[in-house]
Structure 1
Amino acid sequence: MSLAQDLKKVNNLQLAAKLVSDQVVLGLHNSKRSGTGAEFEQYRHYRPGDDPKSIDWKLFARTEKHQVRESATESTLTINFIIDLSGSMNYEEKGVSRLYFAKILLASFAYLGFKQSDDMNLFGLKNGKLELLASQGKQSFQKILYGLENAKAEGNWNFEKINFPEFQSKNKELLIFASDFFQTNSEFYQLVNLWSRPGKQLLLFQILGEKEVSFEWDEVIKFKDLETGKSIELSPEETKNAYLKSFHGYLDDFENELKIENVHFYRCQLNDPIAEVLKNSLKKLKWS
């Protein structure tokens, strides 16, 4: 049984987020700015005007390089959580929906952000619109939990014009986006390109089902488009090879399109331990 299945029995998003986060040794971020604190955690090359006392002479003895120790003081970070609320997020396997997995994942990130006093907002993408579900400020973590708990997935993308100025500022931010990234044309790719700007980091989670990836069905199955409601019956034996070629071709192409600076892509499945997903994805982030 997966952790997501166990957490669903808890039926408490805050507790689920805490249980997942407590399994993660690495913090949400270690954003540093130069200061005069007592702990020295990073180095840079000596520059004229620097105090010679700040040179790490033990390091110089080993490397013959003049490295200046810099202290690290914690800084707050603005985190924007984005959850896909189109109908395809209702897809589920073994009682766990893509939407529920995304909710636990984002709630776990929010818990870590809450512990570090980060500014946080929650947005939902639904029917071609960006909805603010929870804003930063007092009790932002509780507001995010409430927003996630009440978020419902329905409809399709239906984008007439992709333009969300909320994420086009020049401020340093982390955008965490959970979705299946199933697109009609190239709307997700356009969004990512629109949002990827200097000073921002994007962490994208593509959440898939094990059967979606492997097409492991033993009998004729009825497929229903969760966004349009249309359905079709297919025989796995006749369809599997063509499906796998088409689906995995799309996955490969989409991932290759996202090889953009400061864009970090992470693909996971509904049976993956969420704590491991959280921990491994954090390693992709690069803070300076």
Structure 2
Amino acid sequence: MEFDADTAVRSAAQDAAGLVAAMPRLVLEARKIAASVYHGLHGRRRAGTGENFWQYRRFMDGEPSARVDWRRSARDDHLYVREREWEAAHTVWIWPDLSTSMVFASPLVWETKRDRALILAFALAELLVRGGERVGIPGVMRPSAARNIVEKMAESLVHAHSLPQSLPPAFSPSPLAEVVLLGDFWSPTAEVVASLAGVSASGAHGHVVQICDPAEETFPFSGRVEFREPESGTALTIGRAETVREDYVARVATHRAIIRREAERRTWSFLIHRTDRPASELLLALHARMSGGSFGVTAHPEGQPADPAGSPA
């Protein structure tokens, strides 16, 4: 089947209408999730110039002696420096994938990948702004620390002029900024790697979060099944779908292994989130990664890595 541009545009228009209709529910759900985890989180405090005391640390050779806190040092056998909290607003760019492939939910779940990506983006932005950060959307919204950041993001996405793409737009974040990419990343492996290389070229730190439906990992299909690529409309019919399950799972594993390797090579993190898991689970793990924590998210034990050719839909 050849690519039909008119069909793609009509499909995108339908997806956009669905997004507008769903947005109020997604905003409320995001606020609910953010509120449920907020009290269990610590702020992303960092040392730097500012007026608020943060912590004491050991004095290091080569530092000016004027930095020593003599009162605190008098209580111990070591010299201590009084560190202050960094008060400059940090910028976090959050990109949610709103392409057609994200408008998919198998019978195993009740929520599409797109809805889950938006809920996570909104909830994370709410937590970050409460912590004094600025949040922006690449190509859509400039960084902001507005109290109504969730509504601001929702309005910006609804009124975005360009059609959603499967990979983030080309942009150059500040080396001090942080980037969070939320999508299914089922594009060809080389395209995903190239996109990641472009976004990370400035030296910004970031996190790649692959959001997938459980059916895209476990491939629970059997018998004669027609698979349709959601963005191009290309169809593939398999007489006995169960016979390709092992190969599919292997390709998924290879795809993810390459993305993980490229992310880690750039000191980025790579996390996997299935839509049959609570959104709060990923939000807590991601916030911990961004705060310098050590725990992360992996696929469900039955889940296996990603398919470079595309997901079943």
Scaled to the shorter chain, the TM-score interval is: 0.7 to 0.9
Pick one of 234, 250, 271 that aligns with 2:276. Answer: 271
CA contact (8 A) 2:103 2:112 kept: yes
CA contact (8 A) 2:45 2:86 kept: no
Pick one of 111, 117, 120 that aligns with 1:96. Answer: 111
Structure 2 length-normalised TM: 0.72
Higher strand share: 1
- Please give the alpha-carbon distance, in whole angstroms, between the structure 2 residues aligned to 1:249 and 1:206: 14
Q: Could you list the per-position Cα deviations for residues 83-123 of structure 1 after superposition, in whole angstroms to 9, with x for gaps in the alignment?
A: 22332112213231111110000010111133234322223
How many positions carry a matched residue from both structures? 263
User: What residue ranges of structure 2 are gaps of 5+ in the alignment?
Assistant: 1-20, 293-313
| Corresponding residue for residue 70 of structure 1 | 83
CA contact (8 A) 2:174 2:202 kept: no
| Corresponding residue for residue 242 of structure 2 | 237
Q: Is 1:120 aligned to residue 124 of structure 2?
A: no
| Corresponding residue for residue 43 of structure 1 | 57
Relative distance call for 1:249 and 1:142 in structure 2 (3 A) is same
- Please give the alpha-carbon distance, in whole angstroms, between the structure 2 residues aligned to 1:241 and 1:260: 29
CA contact (8 A) 1:204 1:265 kept: yes
| Corresponding residue for residue 135 of structure 1 | 142
- SS of 2:264's partner is coil
CA contact (8 A) 2:120 2:279 kept: yes
Following TM superposition, by how much is the alpha carbon of 1:151 offset from its aligned partner in structure 2, in angstroms? 7.1
- Please give the alpha-carbon distance, in whole angstroms, between the structure 2 residues aligned to 1:97 and 1:41: 44
- Please give the alpha-carbon distance, in whole angstroms, between the structure 2 residues aligned to 1:243 and 1:22: 39
- SS of 2:207's partner is strand
- Please give the alpha-carbon distance, in whole angstroms, between the structure 2 residues aligned to 1:9 and 1:96: 11
Higher relative contact order, chain-length normalized (CA < 8 Å, sep 6+): 1
- Please give the alpha-carbon distance, in whole angstroms, between the structure 1 residues aligned to 2:165 and 2:143: 28
* Percent identical residues: 17
- Please give the alpha-carbon distance, in whole angstroms, between the structure 2 residues aligned to 1:31 and 1:207: 29
Structure 1 length-normalised TM: 0.77
Pick one of 22, 28, 41 that aligns with 1:26. Answer: 41
Cα RMSD after superposing both structures = 3.2
User: What residue ranges of structure 1 are gaps of 5+ in the alignment?
Assistant: 1-7, 124-130
